[in-house]
Amino acid sequence: MNILHIDSAITGEASVSRKLTADIVAKLKAANPDTAVTYRDLNKGVPAIDTDWFTAVRTTPENPTPEQQAIVATSDAYLAEVQAADVLVIGLPIYNFTLTAQLKNWLDQIARAGKSFRYTAEGPEGLLKGKRAIIGYAAAGTPIGSEFDHASGYLRFMLGFLGITDVEFVAADRLAMDRDAGLARAQEALEKLAA
């Protein structure tokens, strides 16, 4: 089994989502000792897509410049990690009711027509099928699935759009109100998680 482990929290060692993803990966590895893990810390920076990205990646110039080649290589590397993974373990810390900018940038980098999805006569089709995603959701005050949660539904939708429909959440939410209870809910979800 190949795991792609993604973190994006800005809070370093204090991050609950980083602890959740580490615990999820540890549980999966304990049940599958031959598991290979690729780790990507998005907090180190993920380029936002812009006009240069669009020109390099989407219009595929006939004679790309070295800068355009580098832009394509970066986007290809993110996508190759996802394509090689059987399981994605993604940390989803909630800032201002939604996902981190870094995680959004990563999703933008991997959402590539003809590579991770395609348009058909019946509508879009995800090309990253057969993968599982386990999300470590952490929020100080945003209950998962609430009207204020603009992250979990969006991430589930985007993964589904790309063909990843087996999506589970391990949530430590409402930590600012009752940290112990939020962590206990996450631990309970982790224990129920099939490895």
Domain boundaries, the chain: 2-192
pLDDT in tens, 13-70: 999 999 999 999 999 999 999 999 999 999 999 999 999 999 999 888 889 999 999 9
CA dist 154 and 141 (Å) reads 18
Is residue 194 pLDDT above 90, yes or no? no
User: Using an 8 Å Cβ cutoff, are 37 and 31 in contact?
Assistant: no
Q: According to the model, what pLDDT value does residue 142 have?
A: 95
Length of the chain: 195
Residue 16 among known ligand-binding residues: yes
| Amino acid at site 194 | A
Annotated binding residue 8: no
Structure tokens belonging to residue 79: 């996508």
Which stretches does DSSP call E strand in 21-180? 36-41, 87-93, 117-120, 123-126, 132-138, 166-172
Q: What angle do CA 190, 188, 152 make, to 5 degrees?
A: 65
DSSP-derived letter for residue 164 is: -
| CATH class of the structural domain 2-192 | alpha beta
Whether residue 178 contacts residue 185, with contact meaning beta carbons closer than 8 Å, is answered with no
pLDDT digits (tens, 9 = 90+) for 172-186: 999 999 999 999 999
* 152 has binding-site annotation: no
Task: Write the pLDDT tens digit of every residue in 111-153.
Answer: 999 999 999 999 999 999 999 999 999 999 999 999 999 999 9
CA neighbours within 13 Å on the CB side: how many for 130? 7
Which of 93, 78, 98, 101 shows the shortest CA–CA distance to 137?
A: 93
- Across the chain, what does the average pLDDT equal? 96
- With H, G, I as helix, E, B as strand and everything else as coil, classify residue 134: strand
Per the DSSP assignment, residues forming a β-bridge with 105 are: none
Predicted local distance difference test score (pLDDT) of residue 59: 87
